[in-house]
Amino acid sequence: MQFRNFSAAAVVVAAQSLLFAQAPKPVAIAPSKLPRIGTVSERYQSYNIEMVEVTGGRFWAPYKKATSGPAAVADTAPSSTPAGMNASMYRYRKPIDLANPQLRKLASALSPAYVRVSGTWANSTYFDDSNGPAPATPPDGFRSVLTRQEWQGVLDFTRAVDDGLVTSFAISPGVRDAAGVWTPVELKKVLDYTHSAGGHIDGIEYFNEPTFATMGGAPKGYDAAQYGRDFKVFEAFIRKASPETKIIGPDSVGEGGSLGQQPASMQLVRTEDMLAAEGPGLDVFAYHFYGGVSQRCAAMGGVAKTSPDRALTREWLMSTAKEEEFYAKLRDRFAPGTPIWNTETAETACGGDPWASDFVDSFRYLNQLGILAKQGVKVVIHNTLDASDYGLLDEATLQPRPNYWAAVLWRRLMGTTVLDAGDAAGQNLYLYAHCLRNQRGGVALLAMNTDRTAPEAIHLPAGAVRYQLTSPDLMSTSAQLNGKELALTASGDLPAMAGVPVAAGTIELLPASISFFAIPKAGNASCR
């Protein structure tokens, strides 16, 4: 625009008019009137610590450190590499130190939560029920060994950080009788030890991801009929041996379209068939979700992959909603009224892409929590706390990644009552609301602008406290809160993470930004 031959006042007016024309139309939000649409568990935001972390073994090799650690072993050598997978994608990691004070301090900031100790490796883990040294190699029919000391470490960790425990144990050939039927021989050992140690298992799964049974450690050709037969044995045993423990399942993955067309070699066992074969018995209906597979598994033909330029697209961010709808329909058919949990999720399967640890993934992380709460999911368990590229913490340094800071803000602000913030106009604004934690009548609002270059705006009728997450580089592990870099203190404590007051009225949302708003005086009747 040219301002030649105009007065200074006219130039100012013209410039203001231009800015007004370009400014986004604010979305009006009335916090006092947002209706209640459901509730989530107090432990809604939870996390995994993989069984292979507890025992030590070969887990996904971090991209930035893929050359460190021992070389890949041959598939014929005793190892914890899952059946049929390329050992070069993994790197040995020693057992996690769950007594580490810094790890416990950071985990406590997310509590109360559920710690899920499971994963593919749990399907083939032998429990060494002795106080002596662990066997040098796993017994026949197993691929790894869990010791009493390691399991005691899990029990001590959950107690120290006030977390509940969800887990699963062996379904591999080592626990089957001559007819191939699953037996509770391993499970009984773990339950007996847990009870003798004063521990408690809140929820237990028969099988991690039975949809890909053979790859997960089951006998070759394992099918839905065998699953149903074995589940009935499992369910009867749990009801007698640990009646206070919830039975969670089937923990299926990849059937709602998110993972694309699976190769025939993966031998998909349909959840619909498994549920029909097992009959009633679930206390919690659970599924897993990944929007694709990481670069590590790029050679798997037909399986969906993604890229950083898709990380803020509506198609990518809302794929979690479509997958939940697929499994919710199965829940409604076979276990109506049963709570639904997402017991494993992250940026992508196979350890996450290189950018899973970057700020750009925080939009997926928080959008998933927001949309699944609206859809009725009671618990979401992120994979993992501190392993591989999708971990909330760096596994070598325990430094928080952007998703960890996002998780802390969710835990501090978003209560268990879910409100309907409506559907924002356009493709780039996402709004979610809950009752504000520990504040009667208060509302917490999550507003995300996924446009990389243009602002969005909302209008609030009351003052609020704003917690704005941004990064100078979306593809970095840097995250800023209200313009200040987030980092642990010299003593390893969390920073203050204080919000900034904002007045009632129109509030701009920066491009590629995430804002939590605490509105303590919202006066919402559903939040009392």
Mean pLDDT of 461-475: 97
Is a pLDDT exceeding 50 seen at residue 460?
yes
**What are the start-end ranges of the H helices in 338-450?**
362-374, 402-413
Is a pLDDT exceeding 60 seen at residue 118?
yes
423 and 474 share one domain: yes
* Domain end among 415, 439, 467: 415
Question: Which is more confident, 64 or 20?
Answer: 64
Nearest Cα neighbor of 126 from 56, 73, 187 is 187
Q: Tabulate helix, strand, coil % of the chain (nearest 5).
A: 30, 25, 45
Mean pLDDT of 346-362: 96
Mean pLDDT of 470-474: 98
For the chain, what percent of residues have pLDDT higher than 90? 82
Inside any domain, residue 279: yes
Inside any domain, residue 163: yes
Mean pLDDT of 156-171: 98
Is a pLDDT exceeding 70 seen at residue 77?
no
Mean pLDDT of 186-202: 97
The answer to pTM > 0.75 is yes
| pLDDT at position 303 | 72
Inside any domain, residue 365: yes
Mean pLDDT of 149-174: 98
The top-scoring range by mean pLDDT among 15-29, 193-207, 255-269 is 193-207
Lowest average pLDDT, out of 126-140, 294-308, 399-413, 469-483, goes to 294-308
Is a pLDDT exceeding 60 seen at residue 496?
yes
**What are the start-end ranges of the H helices in 25-109?**
51-55, 101-108
| pLDDT at position 22 | 58
Q: Which two tokens stand for residue 177?
A: 């009788």
Is a pLDDT exceeding 80 seen at residue 73?
no
Residue 351 per-residue DSSP state = T
336 and 457 share one domain: no
**Main-chain dihedrals φ then ψ at residue 224, nearest 5 degrees:** -65, -35
Q: Could you tell me the CATH number of the domain that includes residue 510?
A: 2.60.40.1180
Mean pLDDT of 49-62: 93
Question: Which is more confident, 95 or 22?
Answer: 95
Question: Which is more confident, 266 or 123?
Answer: 123
402 and 498 share one domain: no
Lowest average pLDDT, out of 123-137, 261-275, 329-343, 448-462, goes to 261-275
305 and 453 share one domain: no
Inside any domain, residue 12: no
Q: Give 267's contacts (C-beta < 8 A, 6+ positions apart).
A: 212, 213, 214, 215, 221
| pLDDT at position 10 | 40
How many Cα neighbours within 13 Å face the side chain of 84? 17
35 and 56 share one domain: no
Question: Which is more confident, 331 or 78?
Answer: 331
Alpha-carbon torsion (497, 501, 505, 510), positive or negative: negative
Inside any domain, residue 9: no
Is a pLDDT exceeding 90 seen at residue 195?
yes
Nearest Cα neighbor of 168 from 250, 85, 103, 81 is 250
Distance CA 362, CA 343 (A): 19
| pLDDT at position 28 | 96
| pLDDT at position 97 | 97
Is a pLDDT exceeding 50 seen at residue 388?
yes
135 and 54 share one domain: yes
Inside any domain, residue 100: yes
Q: Could you tell me the CATH number of the domain that includes residue 313?
A: 3.20.20.80
| pLDDT at position 84 | 58
Which of the four pLDDT bands, split at 50, 70 and 90, describes residue 24? confident
| pLDDT at position 397 | 96
| pLDDT at position 7 | 43
User: Which residue range(s) make up the domain with 295?
Assistant: 45-415
State CA 393 to chain mean position distance: 13
328 and 307 share one domain: yes
| pLDDT at position 265 | 58
Is a pLDDT exceeding 80 seen at residue 415?
yes
State CA 124 to chain mean position distance: 23
What is the separation, in whole angstroms, between the first and last Cα of the chain? 53
How many Cα neighbours within 13 Å face the side chain of 119? 30
| pLDDT at position 9 | 40
Beta-strand pair 144-147/27-28: unpaired
Distance CA 27, CA 459 (A): 6
As a whole number, the mean pLDDT across the chain is 91
| pLDDT at position 132 | 85
* Domain end among 390, 415, 440: 415
Inside any domain, residue 463: yes
Q: How many domains does the chain have?
A: 2
Which of the four pLDDT bands, split at 50, 70 and 90, describes residue 302? low
- By the 8 A CB rule, do 300 and 293 touch? yes
Q: Which two tokens stand for residue 387?
A: 């392993």
Which of the four pLDDT bands, split at 50, 70 and 90, describes residue 304? confident
410 and 425 share one domain: no
Which of the four pLDDT bands, split at 50, 70 and 90, describes residue 500? very high
For the chain, what percent of residues have pLDDT higher than 70? 89
Question: Which is more confident, 12 or 423?
Answer: 423
Q: Distances from the Cα of 317 to the Cαs of 283, 287, 341, in angstroms? A: 29, 18, 19
411 and 462 share one domain: no
Is a pLDDT exceeding 70 seen at residue 209?
yes
Mean pLDDT of 481-490: 98
For the chain, how big is the Rg over CA atoms in Å?
A: 24
Is a pLDDT exceeding 60 seen at residue 254?
yes
* Domain end among 415, 430, 462: 415
Q: Give 179's contacts (C-beta < 8 A, 6+ positions apart).
A: none
289 and 435 share one domain: no
Is a pLDDT exceeding 80 seen at residue 71?
no
Is a pLDDT exceeding 70 seen at residue 245?
yes
Beta-strand pair 480-481/27-28: unpaired
466 and 364 share one domain: no
Distance CA 378, CA 212 (A): 25
Say whether 501 sits in a helix, a strand or coil: strand
| Residue whose structure tokens are 């993955």 | 253
166 and 32 share one domain: no
| pLDDT at position 74 | 35
Distance CA 60, CA 356 (A): 13
| pLDDT at position 81 | 62
Q: Which two tokens stand for residue 161?
A: 């950080």
Inside any domain, residue 472: yes
- By the 8 A CB rule, do 41 and 381 touch? no
